[in-house]
Amino acid sequence: MAEPLLSVRNLSVTFPNRSGDVHAVRGVSYDIAEGEFFGIVGESGSGKSVSSLAIMGLLPDNARLSGEIRFGGRDLLELDDRQLSGIRGHDIAIVFQDPLSALTPVYTVGDQIAEAVRIHDRAVSRQAATARAVDLLRIVGIPDPVRRASSFPHEFSGGMRQRVMIAMAIANNPRLIIADEPTTALDVTIQAQILEVLEKARAITGAAVSLITHDLGVIAGHADRVGVMYAGRLVELGTATEVFHAPTMPYTIGLLRSVPNIRTAGSERLVSLAGRPPSLGALPRGCPFADRCPLAIEVCRQVEPPLVPPTAAGAAAHPAACHRADEIASGKIGRAEVFPVADAIPASARVPRGAEPVLSVRGLKRHFPLLGGGLLRRPVGTVRAVDGVSFEVAPGRTFALVGESGCGKTTTVLEVMELAKPQEGEIRVEGTDVATLGRVERRTLRADIQMVFQDAAAAVDPRLPVGDVIAEPLLAQRMPRADRDARVAELLELVGLDRGMAERYPHEFSGGQRQRIGIARGLATRPKILVLDEPVSALDVSVQAGIINLLEDLKVELGLAMVFVAHDLAIVRQIADEVGVMYLGRIIEQGPIAEVFGTPRHPYTQALMSAAPIPDPAIERTRERIVLEGDLPSPAQRIDGCRFRTRCPLYRILDADARALCDGVDPELEPHGDARVACHHVDRNPLVVA
């Protein structure tokens, strides 16, 4: 066999701490071959990023490292910083998670890419390096690269900045590209574009890629082999097919079953891994996963299992760190039995369509003036953030708003939450037009509509114990102290937390627990409507599953009407009853979730569906995709006719007469099946969605 490009052996990384050493990486070993796409997955804090930063030599000075990292025949741990600087950016490149932080804000992107070229080859002139930067921007799909090379990072969207990072990474034709969560927080359409660019970069340079992510769908569609990390160790290692179709470590099985699949979501409840990962500064004896594992036996709590292939599966088995891997591999323990889950809430328990709506929005508009520079700050345009949105939500049902960032989802729900007369249109809560409310009536009605925010940590006062945080809405409603305390205890139990946690402060909770606290606060006043703005986007998939299950239970138990804002289509399909797909301030497809996602008719919905990753390598690598070009246009840009036509893949294949209709008339929502679609050419749409 050929020598691997990168060979990591028994890598350990420890950070000294006054309360005890933090063992961030513990005895990790793996190889990456030339041109291979290797994926590393796991929950936050599992050691994924630290292990890759160790390869780059970018850990802080206080980090203690041991083991071997061999690249090109040299042990990188034996090199000094000067020697590593000759390898970083030349032979090994990295694409960071947050490109805005990784790029220097005071230099143009062209200068920064050119610097990456010249720093490793002083013989290259400034003019040649600048020309190379423009070529690289063109390769990664930046429109008008000559002009954009002179732009600064803040002038690019998130997806475009990530393209710039990839251009910089491939500037010197590296042999290995490390991509650390390169698609986190990006919309599915932009994510698909970035992954396509990464694959293109791999093809052009011949580089191997090490992709660090918590998104199993991304791994399924691209990785040749996968390493699963937990508590600083690799706990399963194999090909993508082996890990996804025949996992033998219970943690991997739980991860896979906690991820909704956009094709099957809603057919059963998601698996929620109980508890949370152990502290890397106080690891328990035995297997670190034992306290969360339903298969744990006495030996699991005494001896940490090695990463070895289960003997029952024969020579072809892939390694897994589990004492009971033989039983799983041989079929004595079925994988579905490891984390048994109840079926989805039956349709008979749900409120049927047609019930009287508790929230009704009609023709809602919210435009903001775009002010020019100078002292007078005169209006020079209009930002059409929300431009004629209509929907209804009945008790016990969930209406979801989906679409790319900047489409107007959050502005729509904030307009509803304000309970004030809108610029244009009508908002009715429990049949009452909010435009007619006085101050006292508005305060009374506000108890019936509450909100759960995206960032649970930023949404609470860190100086207050969580009991007081949850009680804030009750205090605003002037509830007596004794009644507030009793209600807080009741709410903590309702969202799966202990009553005794009321005295703790927000920083003492995990991200998932903080989101449960946010939900408890939202339910404090017994609202009839709960608005959730990206409530699980920043959570690990295992924690995310627990929140989704909780919301499904509460919806039925309390008869809540929910408005759910998200860009993750699989989660939306798991929880929603109806969906509205937004683009540039308008809903362009709307209807029952099964109809819209099962038979998407608008080209934009089809593109969103095809871009959503599926955690199954067999499906993900054979399905056809509709990759949208460019980013979402600015809502301040005036687009005549259909506002989607500038990116529409259907528009590009229509004849001149059909295009003329798109150019001149903005389509309205029209019935098609049980859904409504705003497209002139629904019946002529041949685009593939599967």
519-573: pLDDT as tens digits: 999 999 999 999 999 888 767 787 788 889 888 888 888 899 999 998 889 999 9
Cα torsion 609, 612, 614, 620 to 10°: value is 80
Tell me which residue of 553, 567, 581, 547 sits closest to 677, measured CA to CA: 581
Asked whether the CA dihedral 595, 600, 604, 610 is positive or negative, the reply is positive
Length of the chain: 690
pLDDT score for 568: 85
Q: Which two tokens stand for residue 458?
A: 């930023």
Rounded to 5°, the CA angle 107-188-604 comes to: 110
- 351 pLDDT band, cuts 50/70/90, is low
For residue 347, the model assigns a pLDDT of 53
**By the 8 A CB rule, do 505 and 462 touch?**
yes
Among candidate residues 308, 295, 288, the one with its CA nearest the CA of residue 42? 288
The SS3 of residue 243 is: helix
Q: Which of 437, 418, 525 is closest to 475 using CA atoms?
A: 525
The CA-based diameter of the chain, rounded to the nearest angstrom, is 78
If you average pLDDT over residues 265-269, what whole number do you get? Answer: 81
Asked if the model's pLDDT at residue 377 lies above 90, the reply is no
What's the pLDDT at 564? 95
| pLDDT, position 185 | 67
Distances (CA, A) of 520 to 272, 468, 497, 547: 19, 12, 10, 12
pLDDT attached to residue 594: 92
Residue 49 predicted with pLDDT over 60? yes
pLDDT at 176: 96
Q: Regarding predicted confidence, which is higher, 173 or 458?
A: 173
Q: Are strands 675-677 and 670-672 parallel, antiparallel or unpaired?
A: antiparallel
Element spanning 75, H or E:
strand 74-75
Write the burial class of residue 321 (CB in 10 Å: 0-12 exposed, 13-18 middle, 19+ buried): buried
pLDDT in tens, 114-164: 999 999 988 999 999 999 999 999 999 888 899 999 999 998 888 889 899
Global pTM reads: 0.87
Residue 636 structure tokens = 């301040």
Q: What structural domains does the chain harbor? A: 34-62+84-91+176-344 (3.40.50.300), 99-173 (no CATH), 459-526 (no CATH), 602-684 (no CATH)
- Residue 690, pLDDT score: 45
| Best CA proximity match to 132, nearest among 179, 160, 168 | 168
Confidence (pLDDT) at 421: 93
pLDDT tens for residues 599-622?
999 999 999 998 888 888 988 888
Q: Whole-angstrom Cα distance, residue 484 to residue 492?
A: 12
Q: Which region holds residue 406: left if phi is over 0, alpha if psi is between -120 and 50, else beta?
A: left
What crossing angle do the helices spanning 158-169 and 188-205 adopt, rounded to 10°?
A: 10
Mean of per-residue pLDDT scores for the chain = 89
Indicate the residue type of 300: C
CB atoms within 10 A of CB 340: 10
The whole-angstrom separation of Cα 351 and Cα 95 is 47
User: Please, are residues 642 and 668 in contact by the beta-carbon 8 Å criterion?
Assistant: no
pLDDT of residue 394: 94
Is the predicted pLDDT of residue 279 greater than 70, yes or no? yes
To 10 degrees, what angle do helices 188-205 and 126-139 make? 130
SS3 annotation, 251-317? HHHHHHHHCCCCCCCCCECCCCCCCCCCCCCCCCCCCCCHHHCCCCCHHHHCCCCCCECCHHHCCCC
CA-to-CA dists, residue 569 to 296, 579, 581, 607, angstroms: 34, 10, 10, 12
Task: Provide the pLDDT for residue 531.
Answer: 95
* 229, pLDDT greater than 60: yes
DSSP 509: S
What is the average per-residue pLDDT within 659-672?
94
The DSSP call for residue 632 is P
Question: Across-strand partners of 11?
Answer: 28
CA distances to 117, 129, 182 from 163, rounded to whole Å, are: 17, 18, 10
Q: Which of 153-157, 197-201, 270-274 has the lowest mean pLDDT?
A: 270-274
Range scoring the smallest mean pLDDT among 246-255, 422-431, 477-486, 511-520 = 511-520
Q: In this predicted model, what pLDDT tens digit does every residue of 287-331 receive, in sequence order?
A: 999 999 999 999 999 999 999 998 866 656 899 999 999 999 988
